[in-house]
Structure 1
Amino acid sequence: MAVVVAFPEKAFTRVSSRDKVGSTLVAARPLPKGTSVTAYGSEEIVPEPTMHTLAIRAGAHGVPRDGAEFVSHSCSPNTDLVAVALKDGKLETTTDAAVVHAVVLVANRDIAEGEEISFDYELNEWDMATPFTCQCGNSNCRGYISGFKNATAANQEELLKKATPLILSTPLFAVAFLDEEYAAALSDAEPYADESRRGGKGSVAHFATAGGRCITLYQGSEQGFEPIQAYTDEDAGEDFYAVRWTVDVATGAPLIAAAGKRGPIKVLDAARMQAHCVLHGHGDAVNDIRAHPTDPSLILSSSKDESLRLWNLLAKCAVAVFAGERGHESEVLAADFHPLGHCFASAGMDNSVKVWGLDDAAVAGAVAASYEFAESAAVATAAAAGRGGEEQRVLRPFHATLVQFPAYSTDGVHSDYVDSCAFLGNLLVSKSTDSRLLLWCPDVSARLRLLRSLAREARASGAGAHTGAREVDDLLAAADAWHDPDMGPLLAGETGEAAGLAEDDEEIEEGAATVLAELPLPNASLWFVRFAVDSSHTRVAAGNDAGDVFVWEPMGPGAARRVTDEEAADFVAGQVEAASASSGDAGVPPNSRRRSPPSTTPAASETPGASTGTSPSATAESPAAGDDAQSNLSSAESESSDEVDEVAERLAFIAAAPLRPSPGAVMTLGHAKSTKAVRQTAFSPDGRLVVAVCDDATVWCYDTKAPHPGAP
């Protein structure tokens, strides 16, 4: 029951401390247990902390009442902290972190006249800007006081008994849905699931949230969600920033990968409710994790150590490290795989967005080698188990491949930190701190010319003698792979003029990009706020500082058409013809003669925000008609029908995302009680639900077909 708070007159007085530095407060008269001694925030709240304020809630700091800034810390204090809310002009106790108006010091025992008044700073401070060594002298003194976040696990358990709502509501930074294809394995691992919350057949969904050192797994449907599993990391200093689902291909068990402040990636088996493995390698915090769209054994991590790492969960090792000479020059904040899995984009605090290829010889070879490594490790483990010994890993380490050259890079799209990026089909969506998301298309052909120029410079300067001739050859191979026409419209701007440039052309524009649309995100000035793209690659959802969620459909209806089998076959035939013709012409890069896939988008003049002549869907000349074309088509079909089918499937996917940007949000989701910053959003696999996690540890689930929010 709520209790109205009142303050007695002259409860304390300020005195100079004899054995401590500075002043302290002592009781001016006897104070019985339960007395409200003083408060922080009851009279004034400021947005920024000072040496004497007390955190009230996220972004709000209470100014001390009646000179209470001199209250001392003690590990065995004589006052407790009680959170209160303002109701009808009066202060009443509350446990709701979202409505805390002030924090009151209440005597937890009788305080004698002249006794020093104290409270435990770590009951309310998550991470102190000015830590200190405690001199309270009590038997339970914790020594170094730096905030609840940095306390030991045992001390945190004690502190939680009296902690304020601010501590109990540790910010949630990450959320991710499980692909329901893999959810069946969870059926035996849901002892707390309420069958009535499942909804109809096929409607059950699972998502995981992460924040602090906790990971929570939820189950439910549009009817509501409930937690069914929770994991607490043994490291009290861990603070998870990222969480992602994948699957153990050996057992079919859903896996949860999470990482954060400490750096190691913790992988959990949600079906068996136990640890799967821990991946070590990053030298600093991990900000983001992504699972490969076609190979669930591969995950990608982005780190504060300025690198990205590709991991193989079967081999339990890093396959490739993306960093170095042309890598990010500051903290990497986010990454996303292309839906076809042949490349990924990354973004960071250096204001840049980069695209890295995965299908060049070096990376593809490293991935293949990692699977061989996993197989040999499994054989060695089985042999050791058969001998009755402990499980052993292969003694030799797996050496990850270093990739220093991205296929594309730009720092011209954003002028500040880029904290989130994702593919929308072949386009990119990225976000900075300027209250908007940008939908844009990279000019990859410009990057191709730059790669060739770098390779020529390396050879001319004798770099091959230092870095190895193979590295230069791999660079050229990567350029050719990136220019592969199977990637379709991602080769933006590959018009006749660009395609016809000779290899010695010196006009190279690194980082060229065409911004197609701005998606306005009001009240969004915080950084490290991530958006989501749905599985159909047609919608985007992002939250803001005020707890609202906006949903856009940048790709307007009516512009899509699938690539037909005939068009795909003709396209492949063109590649056969181009490859044959290129053998006698060494002066022009072979890939520059390749024709682009059939256009699936409106003309540039019909695309809002696109400049004339720079449409990402611009193509080279159409295939010539006549007997030769028909002959080549027949030859291609007879020689490689499987290749035709594969290309048709890939191009059909690309065609499903037409270029018709719509800058306005089509839906705004929110709730009167959702008032804190949304750190990340996620779409359910069917795209119907949007889940948002917030700074006050609340989780909100919205039904986009009937947008009435409900908190799990």
Structure 2
Amino acid sequence: MSEPKKYCLEHTIMETAKTSYYGVSFNRYDPHDNNIFAVVGGRNVIIARLDSDKPVALKVVQTYVDDDEGENFYCCAWSVDPNIGAPLLAVAGATSIIKIINTSVGSAMKALTGHGNEINEIKFHPREPSLLFSASKDLSIRLWNLKTMQTVAIFGGECGHREPDVHLTGDFLASSGMDCAVKIWTLCTPVIKHAIGSSINSNPSSSHSQQLSQREQQSCCSPHVAPSRAVTVHYPIFSTTELHNNFIDCVRWYGDLLLSRCAADAKIVLWKPDVELVAFDKSNITTVVVGGPATPSKQQANFDIICELEFTHSDIWFIRFGFSYDFRMLATGNQVGKIYLWDTKDIPYYIDGYIEKKKAEYLVKKSSVKRKRGTRVSKSAVIKKPIILESDCKSTIRQIDFSKNSQWIVSVCDDGSIWCWKSNIDTTFQESIKGSGSSDDPLIID
């Protein structure tokens, strides 16, 4: 087994206004530059580039300050304009409005409105860069199409959900929320497929829209744009409240398995939902009532716990872990500024090449492993302790992300600091550079 990547602290930046940063995301769509990332918090969006060959490894290339003084961005996600290939950055937060920033020109070009409360997370579809999922405090997850600026589908139901993650195939959506539940929604029923297909194949550039001013075409609230009716999905195909006993603020797919974490526990649970993930629906369902009535007798709720990844000092809401692009590294921060890093080869049930096959085939395969509900792995399946990245940071780390080539890790914190770590196989962990190269003064962003 190869040695796990080692990371050393390469750079730190801190803002004088002490803005709390909540979200970070690398642009994995850029084929030429793996090291562009965005950070959001308060009214601010920072776009930066990392380059260890330069005297100063980190360079801020773009900043954006929202006009609304009540805005507080919690999340961000990258995509690409399918027509011209321009990088797009979606940001959202307290005002419930999703802003779409064209970073090639450095301005917000579109806005998506429809949610009735704060937006906690946004994710783009893994195969369709124009499709965006957003999860809100209004207890719903919306699927948007950036081509039409309309809502394609709304996933709701009792208690609703605020944290989405999309299966690598693009056929299933996992969600979690403050109801202590994890739910799985299918995107494969005929009515949802039709809604998605229609939105993707629609042509917003009709002869009538060509006569509109550029300002009207960019506004999602333009009265000249006839809104299409969104599909409403009331019931998931899987739901359980027995796995966690507190607010679940992060859930991620790992093949057909799921990782999730709740506010009361300093651990990430890897588990398998007892539900058949069938990508092709042969039924003739034409309604949007998917999964039947939300009762235990009608809904899948069993699961098998594979293992638990434990760390310390993490018992608050809104700490989100991150995966590397190849799913080989998993990292999370905690409330005292530490980063915990696992090599997923050390996790039981890992099948070499599994994730790569999923990406290539877009097929869902049933696991041959059968366990009783709630049964943990045997003691012989030892989980190695995580690598701990320590620094002078003492603040809560809200989110972590990896660059596409896993060379860099960036974490964002409550105290307005951004910490950048670079992989270094040949050296031990050490704190090296702060700010503009001085060991005393951090780089200040005006």
TM over 0.5: yes
Matches within 5 A, 1:17-166: none
Once the two structures are TM-superposed, the CA of residue 552 in structure 1 deviates from its matched residue by 1.3
The separation in 2 between residues aligned to 1:272 and 1:358, in whole angstroms, is 34
Match of 1:444 in 2: 275
Query: CA 1:312–1:391 in 2, change beyond 3 Å: closer, same or farther?
Result: closer
Once the two structures are TM-superposed, the CA of residue 389 in structure 1 deviates from its matched residue by 11
Q: Runs in 1 of length 4+ with deviation above 6 angstroms?
A: 506-509, 601-605
Residue 178 in 1 paired to residue 6 in 2?
no
Once the two structures are TM-superposed, the CA of residue 443 in structure 1 deviates from its matched residue by 0.4
Query: CA 1:278–1:470 in 2, change beyond 3 Å: closer, same or farther?
Result: same
Match of 2:142 in 1: 309
What amino acid maps onto 1:440 in structure 2?
Answer: W
Match of 1:350 in 2: 179
Once the two structures are TM-superposed, the CA of residue 602 in structure 1 deviates from its matched residue by 7.6
What amino acid maps onto 2:248 in structure 1?
Answer: V
Match of 2:105 in 1: 272
Residue 560 in 1 paired to residue 351 in 2?
yes
Alignment counterpart, residue 317 of structure 2, candidates 527, 538, 542? 527
Once the two structures are TM-superposed, the CA of residue 260 in structure 1 deviates from its matched residue by 0.5
Once the two structures are TM-superposed, the CA of residue 221 in structure 1 deviates from its matched residue by 3.0
**Are the equivalent residues in 1 in contact too, given 2:172–2:185 (CA < 8 A)?**
yes
Query: CA 1:315–1:391 in 2, change beyond 3 Å: closer, same or farther?
Result: closer
Residue 287 in 1 paired to residue 116 in 2?
no
Query: CA 1:239–1:661 in 2, change beyond 3 Å: closer, same or farther?
Result: farther
The separation in 2 between residues aligned to 1:412 and 1:290, in whole angstroms, is 26
**Are the equivalent residues in 2 in contact too, given 1:292–1:341 (CA < 8 A)?**
yes
Residue 340 in 1 paired to residue 107 in 2?
no
Match of 2:209 in 1: 381
Match of 1:232 in 2: 65
The separation in 1 between residues aligned to 2:106 and 2:89, in whole angstroms, is 10
What amino acid maps onto 1:173 in structure 2?
Answer: Y
The separation in 2 between residues aligned to 1:212 and 1:389, in whole angstroms, is 26
Match of 2:419 in 1: 700
**Are the equivalent residues in 1 in contact too, given 2:190–2:286 (CA < 8 A)?**
no
Once the two structures are TM-superposed, the CA of residue 367 in structure 1 deviates from its matched residue by 1.0
Query: CA 1:510–1:711 in 2, change beyond 3 Å: closer, same or farther?
Result: farther
Larger Rg: 1
Query: CA 1:512–1:227 in 2, change beyond 3 Å: closer, same or farther?
Result: same
Matches within 5 A, 1:188-203: none
Alignment counterpart, residue 410 of structure 1, candidates 240, 254, 258? 240
**Are the equivalent residues in 2 in contact too, given 1:528–1:679 (CA < 8 A)?**
yes
Once the two structures are TM-superposed, the CA of residue 689 in structure 1 deviates from its matched residue by 1.6
**Are the equivalent residues in 1 in contact too, given 2:141–2:162 (CA < 8 A)?**
no
Once the two structures are TM-superposed, the CA of residue 273 in structure 1 deviates from its matched residue by 1.1
**Are the equivalent residues in 2 in contact too, given 1:256–1:269 (CA < 8 A)?**
yes
The separation in 1 between residues aligned to 2:314 and 2:91, in whole angstroms, is 26
The separation in 1 between residues aligned to 2:20 and 2:353, in whole angstroms, is 43
The separation in 1 between residues aligned to 2:418 and 2:132, in whole angstroms, is 25
Match of 1:670 in 2: 390
What amino acid maps onto 2:401 in structure 1?
Answer: A
What amino acid maps onto 1:209 in structure 2?
Answer: V
Q: Quick check: which one's helix share is greater?
A: 1
Q: Quick check: which one's strand share is greater?
A: 2
**Are the equivalent residues in 1 in contact too, given 2:139–2:162 (CA < 8 A)?**
no
The separation in 2 between residues aligned to 1:390 and 1:428, in whole angstroms, is 42
The separation in 2 between residues aligned to 1:389 and 1:419, in whole angstroms, is 37
**Are the equivalent residues in 1 in contact too, given 2:304–2:371 (CA < 8 A)?**
no
- Look up the SS of the partner of 2:405 in the other structure: coil
Query: CA 1:662–1:267 in 2, change beyond 3 Å: closer, same or farther?
Result: farther
Alignment counterpart, residue 432 of structure 1, candidates 262, 265, 268? 262
**Are the equivalent residues in 1 in contact too, given 2:71–2:95 (CA < 8 A)?**
yes
Once the two structures are TM-superposed, the CA of residue 415 in structure 1 deviates from its matched residue by 0.4
Once the two structures are TM-superposed, the CA of residue 372 in structure 1 deviates from its matched residue by 4.1
The separation in 2 between residues aligned to 1:383 and 1:523, in whole angstroms, is 58
1:278-330 per-position Cα deviation (integer Å, ceiling 9, x unaligned): 00000000000111111111111010000000011111111100013xx4x15
Match of 1:207 in 2: 37
What amino acid maps onto 1:352 in structure 2?
Answer: A
Query: CA 1:603–1:370 in 2, change beyond 3 Å: closer, same or farther?
Result: closer
The separation in 2 between residues aligned to 1:662 and 1:377, in whole angstroms, is 57
Match of 1:609 in 2: 376
Once the two structures are TM-superposed, the CA of residue 383 in structure 1 deviates from its matched residue by 4.8
Match of 1:169 in 2: 18
Once the two structures are TM-superposed, the CA of residue 236 in structure 1 deviates from its matched residue by 0.5
The separation in 1 between residues aligned to 2:192 and 2:381, in whole angstroms, is 34
What amino acid maps onto 2:351 in structure 1?
Answer: A
Once the two structures are TM-superposed, the CA of residue 438 in structure 1 deviates from its matched residue by 0.5
The separation in 1 between residues aligned to 2:188 and 2:207, in whole angstroms, is 28
Once the two structures are TM-superposed, the CA of residue 536 in structure 1 deviates from its matched residue by 1.4
The separation in 2 between residues aligned to 1:412 and 1:603, in whole angstroms, is 19
What amino acid maps onto 2:199 in structure 1?
Answer: S
For the aligned residues, what is the CA RMSD?
3.5
The separation in 2 between residues aligned to 1:303 and 1:389, in whole angstroms, is 27
Once the two structures are TM-superposed, the CA of residue 395 in structure 1 deviates from its matched residue by 3.7
The separation in 2 between residues aligned to 1:396 and 1:316, in whole angstroms, is 11
Matches within 5 A, 1:443-592: 443-445=274-276, 470-471=286-287, 475=290, 510-556=300-346, 560=351
Once the two structures are TM-superposed, the CA of residue 396 in structure 1 deviates from its matched residue by 2.1
What amino acid maps onto 2:421 in structure 1?
Answer: Y
What amino acid maps onto 1:678 in structure 2?
Answer: I
What amino acid maps onto 1:444 in structure 2?
Answer: V
Match of 2:86 in 1: 253
What amino acid maps onto 1:439 in structure 2?
Answer: L
TM-score scaled by length of structure 1 = 0.51
1:438-496 per-position Cα deviation (integer Å, ceiling 9, x unaligned): 11110005x99xxxxxx9xxxxxxxxxxxxx9427x647x99xxxxxxxxxxxxxxxxx
**Are the equivalent residues in 1 in contact too, given 2:75–2:91 (CA < 8 A)?**
yes
Unaligned 5+ segments in structure 2 are: 1-11, 355-362, 436-446
How many residues are treated as equivalent by the alignment? 394
The separation in 2 between residues aligned to 1:259 and 1:248, in whole angstroms, is 18
Query: CA 1:230–1:525 in 2, change beyond 3 Å: closer, same or farther?
Result: same
Alignment counterpart, residue 194 of structure 2, candidates 352, 365, 389? 365
What amino acid maps onto 2:106 in structure 1?
Answer: M
- Look up the SS of the partner of 1:168 in the other structure: coil
Query: CA 1:235–1:551 in 2, change beyond 3 Å: closer, same or farther?
Result: same
The separation in 1 between residues aligned to 2:131 and 2:207, in whole angstroms, is 21
Match of 1:689 in 2: 408
Query: CA 1:665–1:302 in 2, change beyond 3 Å: closer, same or farther?
Result: farther
Match of 2:6 in 1: none
Once the two structures are TM-superposed, the CA of residue 213 in structure 1 deviates from its matched residue by 0.5
- Look up the SS of the partner of 2:30 in the other structure: helix
The separation in 2 between residues aligned to 1:306 and 1:235, in whole angstroms, is 24
The separation in 1 between residues aligned to 2:215 and 2:342, in whole angstroms, is 57
Once the two structures are TM-superposed, the CA of residue 507 in structure 1 deviates from its matched residue by 7.2
1:611-657 per-position Cα deviation (integer Å, ceiling 9, x unaligned): 8xxxxxxxxxxxxxxxxxxxxxxxxxxxxxxxxxxxxxxxxxxxxxx
